[in-house]
């Protein structure tokens, strides 16, 4: 499947075969592709919590308005953001770059983020959003359906996952074999309404 087809056919599927299991190779491939998603300054501030414990998934489902896809999909990935990744040994993000690049970018990371908590959070959420799209398109190419989710109690899920204080949930992506097609598209806005030429 090419990228255009994956974009055109990706839908938020809600009903999954609860008996289907993805292989570890499939899971590893999917996550390795997600790890190629872009991040500012290459700080790789996403963390992918792959929830496989069934009891834990039931608890997360309870904190997610009892949405069935949380437990029934083959894979539940909670995309979380490390809000302080920018200050955790930032030199490792550029360890393979030429020395002049390292000497410029590593100090720039600190200058950009330090003391700017809203920037840290905004950047982390953008990064998780891009990673989620990568996950969904890669899964589609692999023959799987997905559903992006933010319908959950963020604080409750953070507690259930034992997230560190400097991490926050961003969203879920569930992956699996859909057993019911998504509803027809509800209606796309026209390009004239969405695309602004130069200025509003």
pLDDT digits (tens, 9 = 90+) for 30-87: 999 999 999 999 999 999 999 999 999 999 999 999 999 999 999 999 999 999 999 9
Q: Is 155 in a helix, a strand, or coil?
A: helix
Model confidence over 158-188: pLDDT tens digits?
Answer: 999 999 999 999 999 999 999 998 988 999 9
Cβ 182 vs Cβ 13: under 8 Å: yes
- pLDDT greater than 90 at residue 150: yes
- CA distances to 69, 145, 182 from 75, rounded to whole Å, are 9, 11, 18
User: Is 3-183 assigned to CATH 3.40.109.10?
Assistant: yes
- pLDDT greater than 90 at residue 113: yes
Average pLDDT over residues 145-152: 98
Neighbours of 63 (CB within 10 A): 17
Average pLDDT over residues 141-147: 97
Reported as type and span, the H/E element at residue 145 is: strand 145-149
Model confidence over 89-112: pLDDT tens digits?
Answer: 999 999 999 999 999 999 999 999
Model pLDDT, residue 1: 82
Q: Is 79 in a helix, a strand, or coil?
A: strand
């Amino acid at each position: 499947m090419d990228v255009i087809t994956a974009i055109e056919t990706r839908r938020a599927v809600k009903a999954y075969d609860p008996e289907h299991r993805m292989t570890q190779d499939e899971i590893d491939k999917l996550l390795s592709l997600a790890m190629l998603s872009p991040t500012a300054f290459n700080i790789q501030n996403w963390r992918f919590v792959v929830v496989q414990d069934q009891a834990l998934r039931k608890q997360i489902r309870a904190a997610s308005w009892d949405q069935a896809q949380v437990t029934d999909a083959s894979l539940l990935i909670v995309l979380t953001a490390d809000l302080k990744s920018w200050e955790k040994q930032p030199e490792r993000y550029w360890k393979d770059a030429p020395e002049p690049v390292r000497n410029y970018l590593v100090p720039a990371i600190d200058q950009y983020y330090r003391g700017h908590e809203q920037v840290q959070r905004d950047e982390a959420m953008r990064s998780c959003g891009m990673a989620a799209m990568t996950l969904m398109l890669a899964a589609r190419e692999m023959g799987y359906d997905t559903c992006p989710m933010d319908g959950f109690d963020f604080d409750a899920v953070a507690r259930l996952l034992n997230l560190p204080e400097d991490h926050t949930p961003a969203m879920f992506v569930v992956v699996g074999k859909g057993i019911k097609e998504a509803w027809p598209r509800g209606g796309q806005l026209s390009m004239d309404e969405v695309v602004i030429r130069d200025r509003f």
